[in-house]
Amino acid sequence: MNDISTKFELQNSNDMRSVKVIMPQIRVPKSKKVSEWCVEFSFYDEINGKMQRFRKKKGFSKCKTERQCWDNAEILQKELSQKLINGWSPYEDRQTVIWKDDLVYQNEYKEKPIYNTKKTVAYFSTKFLETKENTAPSSYKTFMSKLRTLREWLKENKLDLKDVSLITRDHSKQFMKDINKKKKKAGKTNNEYIRLFTEFWDFIKKERKGNENIWDDMPKYANDTKPFIPLRKNILEILKKEMEKPVVAKHKNQYANPRPQLWLAGQFMYYCFIRPGELRHMKIRNMNLFEGKIILFSEYTKSKKTRVVDIPDEFAETLITKYKLHNYPESHYVFTIEGEPGEEQVGANYFNKAFARIRNNLGLPKEYKFYGFKHTGAVQALKTGANIKDIQHQMGHSSVEITDEYLKSMVGYESEFFRKSMPKI
């Protein structure tokens, strides 16, 4: 054992298996810079089957002279050598951990099962989800769903109990192939898997230095999503006429006609670019009709950031004179199952379902969606001279680039020459 530079067999007390070690050696830099001094040793990595080099610099930052560096190096070398002989492993974070599984289905267990395992994908997925607890509920469910799909695939392929470092790029490619064999997915869905797992592996990489991101540079799928379709002027007129029709209740317990509220919701989307999920949570107190502002709180916005949008003067006047929203209690929801502001808000899919019923009754193409009100407002704002920065702010987009791509998907590139000056054939 006198020659500390040689490899030898050493019993690791943590798992009682023989591992190869190159004992600590002092590395003296050619530059003689204190910051480059270190004590170096190597330890066999049983997971990837390779020797891993470690460089320790404890204490060198306090050294002022070369003699002090030598003294510190000898102390550190002796300290590390003794720890290795006593069975210490530099891979301490790979020892078994106790953790609760947050991804199990609630109907399977009364309490979350507790595991004592290596640091698997399942372990890191639970830790990762803890960082997502403040995201929108729909986004959190998406993370959970896709992580469950990955874990089910790992279990099918007997990889679920393997240390996360054993999951490779080949596995990630095979996963994408297999989930599309069962049921071919849209390009947008496949790209969402890649985006989410890239973020997940970035988290793993931070938690355990040395792990590569196996989803980096994964080829993207062709985006086969349908384009945004604005509502044409004649379609808007047809919808308005139908939505504003009075409906006679068939019995006394039937709720009032919700259609005028559906037209009102469409106007909020057209003028203020407020999403359906934000509309259903909107209360009278969110609006300042006389100042022309609406405040949307972070817990209900898509971006999870509070934003303030403008109410065009003409629409604000309509809200005051026609709908008289300022006369209702501030605690009331604007949109309710009773068809007027009240205490019980509409359900998550109320607007889309109500719109679809009216659209189908009118025999209009299914490509027209309730979201079309928002798309139409954005296009009309652009065509009548709105600055793209203004549209970005009203939309709540995080960047002008996102707004630009959004608008281009509906209006493309407009050329004044081809519209007005192209010679006749």
Task: For 233-416, give the CATH class.
Answer: mainly alpha
Give me the torsion for CA of 387, 388, 394, 396, rounded to 10°: -160
pTM of the predicted protein model: 0.55
Which residues, at least 6 apart from 290, have a Cβ–Cβ distance to it below 8 Å? 316, 320, 326
The answer to whether 118 touches 161, Cβ cutoff 8 Å, is yes
Query: What does the pLDDT read at residue 9?
Result: 44
AA letter at 22: I
How far is it, in rounded angstroms, from Cα 258 to Cα 266?
Answer: 13
Tell me the pLDDT tens digit for each residue of 32-69: 788 899 999 998 876 666 788 899 999 999 999 999 99
**Which residues are 294's β-sheet partners?**
287, 309
Tell me the pLDDT tens digit for each residue of 389-420: 999 999 988 888 889 888 888 877 667 777 77
Rg value, the chain, Cα: 31
**Which residues are 116's β-sheet partners?**
98
Residues of the chain with CATH 1.10.150: 97-207
Phi, psi of 423, deg, nearest 5: -60, 150
Query: What does the pLDDT read at residue 101?
Result: 54
Cβ atoms < 10 Å from Cβ of 243: 20
AA letter at 172: S
Phi, psi of 157, deg, nearest 5: -100, 15
How far is it, in rounded angstroms, from Cα 42 to Cα 20?
Answer: 8
Tell me the pLDDT tens digit for each residue of 301-355: 887 789 999 999 999 999 999 999 999 999 999 999 888 999 999 988 899 999 9
Which of the listed CATH numbers 2.115.10, 1.10.760, 1.10.150, 2.30.30 matches domain 97-207?
A: 1.10.150
How far is it, in rounded angstroms, from Cα 180 to Cα 25?
Answer: 52
The answer to whether 347 touches 341, Cβ cutoff 8 Å, is no
Task: Of 50, 45, 55, 14, give the one whose Cα is nearest residue 163.
Answer: 45
Task: Of 80, 83, 79, 74, give the one whose Cα is nearest residue 26.
Answer: 74
How far is it, in rounded angstroms, from Cα 49 to Cα 45?
Answer: 5
Tell me the pLDDT tens digit for each residue of 116-141: 456 888 889 988 988 988 877 778 88
Residues of the chain with CATH 1.10.443.10: 233-416
Average pLDDT of the chain to the nearest whole number: 83
Which residues, at least 6 apart from 121, have a Cβ–Cβ distance to it below 8 Å? 150, 151, 154, 159, 160, 164, 167
Task: Of 159, 172, 100, give the one whose Cα is nearest residue 129.
Answer: 100
Per-residue DSSP letter, 246? -
